[in-house]
Amino acid sequence: MSGDASDHVAPAAHRTFAVRIGELIRRPDIGGMAVVVGVKIGMVLLNFTLITLAARLLDPEAFGHYSILYSAAGLLCIVAAAGQEPFVLRMWNEMTAAGNAAKLKGALYFTLLLSLSGTVIVAIGLYFWASALVDGQTAITCVIYMMIVSVLQICMHLVRTEIGVASGDGAGNAIVGSVPVLYLLACLFSGTRPDTAHLFLALAVGAGLALLLQLYLIRGRILHRFPDFQRIRAVADYRLWLPRSVRFWLATSLEATNQYIDVIIIGYLMDPVIAGAYFVTVRLANLFAAAADSVNLFGTRHLPGLYYRGEQRALNKMLDSLAWITLAFSAIGLIGILVGGYFALLLINEPYAAYFPELLVLCLGTAALGTTRPSVIMLLLAGHEGRYLQIMAVCVVVRIAGFFLFVPHFGVMGAVATTAAAFALQSIVLRTADKALTGFDSSMFRLLLRRA
């Protein structure tokens, strides 16, 4: 008798568990985050492959120069975009929610004009600086890559928010990274040494192909929403848009400086070989931060619509989900680096394994900063670009000053310790500003308030 009862209970319990799992998977926030995580895992694997192949196939000095130029291109492509990544994201959500096709068209024209102008100006400066560091061919291909990827970043922001992360960041970054990986694999199997100029050319080709795809997707989406978009007369509000773009430009430029300037400074204070080793350490820490980037991608996809539609309950629920996911990712990432970071450095190139302690310190700072990614999104959505700009400016100045003070005496460890301290300070100030100005605690620490 008891055996029969247990046979009936077990299937029932199994069905209940299966139903709960199914309901969890069907939740829009969980399903959407699963897509984002899948995209980021693919990007992590592709970037790791690219770094490993480049570090092993290029000689140490050439890899150091590649690291410096790649970091400079990453910084300047965002500077050249003139703040149009967050601007176009904000205008798209505002104008589509209002059904204002005329103003949306004006905003897109404004973005095109400003970003192209910024790209040309920045490209000239990059060419003269790079020419003093490497040969002319490498400088030219680096500039071409920077120009294309600057426009690509804006387009991927728009595709991400309107179509999805897989179509935007997923497809875009997959194409950009695949071409140089294929080039390096061809060099590996043919026994030829790759050239830095050709590596940047491969990056530029990948970025160009990705840009064509993003433009095609944007065109199709606009015509789907507004079938007569081509006949609509554009309406612009330059008095409002230009100051807003300037604030966005300053904020994104400072953010990019915070992300990329370290490798350039290390190259200046020490030498390209050490800069290459530091670049590997930073990129591995950034791979750990890919989990936090998933939160950022998912947040910029969903939070603007909820915020501008005034759906407070849904917004709070989404912020709770992001906080739990951030907590899980931070714990998993730190454990993963602690267990496998040394072997990852060893796989990239044996001499880099000596920088495992530096990697651990840097990851602690990266984890601290990752806890406040949604806070940044909320500050920008609520129109507090000025305060965010002030926070970023102070943190960037502190970090750069720390580099010049500590790197000459403590080398790479001085750089990562400075970075970790600056990131921790930045996360504290961002959370405080978010709570004071938006009324939300969008950081991971909102979970502590819930428990209290």
Kindly report, residue by residue over 213-271, the tens digit of the pLDDT: 999 999 998 888 888 888 889 888 888 899 888 888 988 898 888 888 989 999 999 88
Q: Residue 311 — very low, low, confident or very high, per pLDDT cuts 50/70/90?
A: low
> For residues 108 and 2, what is the distance between their CA atoms, to the nearest angstrom?
71
pLDDT at 181 over 90: yes
- What's residue 90's pLDDT? 83
- Number of neighbours of residue 133 by Cβ within 10 angstroms: 15
Q: How far apart are CA 44 and CA 48, in angstroms?
A: 6
Work out the mean pLDDT of the chain and round it to a whole number.
84
The pLDDT of residue 33 is 61
DSSP codes of every residue in 387-440: HHHHHHHHHHHHHHHHHHHHHHHHHHHHHHHHHHHHHHHHHHHHHHHHHHHHS-
Residue 20 has pLDDT above 50, yes or no: no
pLDDT class for 331, splitting at 50, 70, 90?
Answer: confident
Split at pLDDT 50, 70, 90, the class of 297 is low
Residue found by looking up tokens 């020490």 in the block: 270
**Cα separation values, 239 from 120, 386, 436, Å:** 24, 17, 28
Residue 2 pLDDT > 50, yes or no?
A: no
CA 353/CA 342 separation, integer angstroms: 6
Q: Is residue 28 predicted with pLDDT exceeding 70?
A: no
Q: What angle do CA 137, 119, 161 make, to 5 degrees?
A: 120
Q: Which range scores top for mean pLDDT: 2-16, 31-45, 307-321, 346-360? A: 346-360
Look at 375 and 425; give whichever has higher pLDDT: 425
**176, 210 in Cβ contact below 8 A?**
yes
- pLDDT of 159 > 60? The answer is yes
The answer to whether residues 421 and 402 touch, using CB atoms and an 8 Å cutoff, is yes
Q: Is the pLDDT of residue 105 over 80?
A: yes
pLDDT over 70 at 439, yes or no? yes
SS3 content of the chain, % helix, strand, coil (to 5): 90, 0, 10
Q: What is the pLDDT of residue 6?
A: 47
The model's pTM is 0.81
Q: Stretch 179-186: mean pLDDT, rounded?
A: 97
Q: What is the mean pLDDT of residues 341-366?
A: 91
282 confidence band (pLDDT: 50, 70, 90): confident
Longest dimension (CA), the chain: 87
What's the pLDDT at 322? 77
* pLDDT over threshold 60, residue 27: no
Query: Which of 6-15, 74-83, 292-301, 439-448 is least confident?
Result: 6-15
Other Cβ atoms within 10 Å of 356 Cβ, number: 18
Burial 188-227 (b: 16+ CB within 10 A, else e): eeeeeebbbbbbbbbbbbbbbbbbebbeebbeebbeeebe
Residue 141 has pLDDT above 70, yes or no: yes
Helix and strand numbers, DSSP H then E, in the chain: 16, 0
Q: 238-269 vs 60-80: helix axis angle to the nearest 10?
A: 160
Cβ neighbours of 452 (radius 10 Å): 5
The answer, yes or no, to whether residue 307 has pLDDT greater than 80, is: no
- Is residue 292's pLDDT more than 80? no
Chain-centroid distance of CA 377 in Å reads 13
What average pLDDT does the segment 421-439 reach? 87
Mean pLDDT, to the nearest integer, of 347-364?
A: 91
- Shortest CA distance to 60 belongs to which of 248, 271, 296? 271
User: Which among 225, 212, 71, 232 has a CA at the least distance from the CA of 155?
Assistant: 212
pLDDT at 1: 47
Look at residue 13 in the predicted model and tell me its pLDDT.
46
Question: Once rounded to an integer, what is the mean pLDDT over residues 373-400?
Answer: 83
Q: What is the DSSP string of 109-156?
A: HHHHHHHHHHHHHHHHHHHHHHHTTS-HHHHHHHHHHHHHHHHHHHHH
The pLDDT score that the predictor gives to residue 24 is 46
- Going by pLDDT thresholds of 50, 70 and 90, the confidence category of residue 288 is low
Of the listed ranges 103-107, 261-265, 331-335, the one predicted with least confidence: 331-335
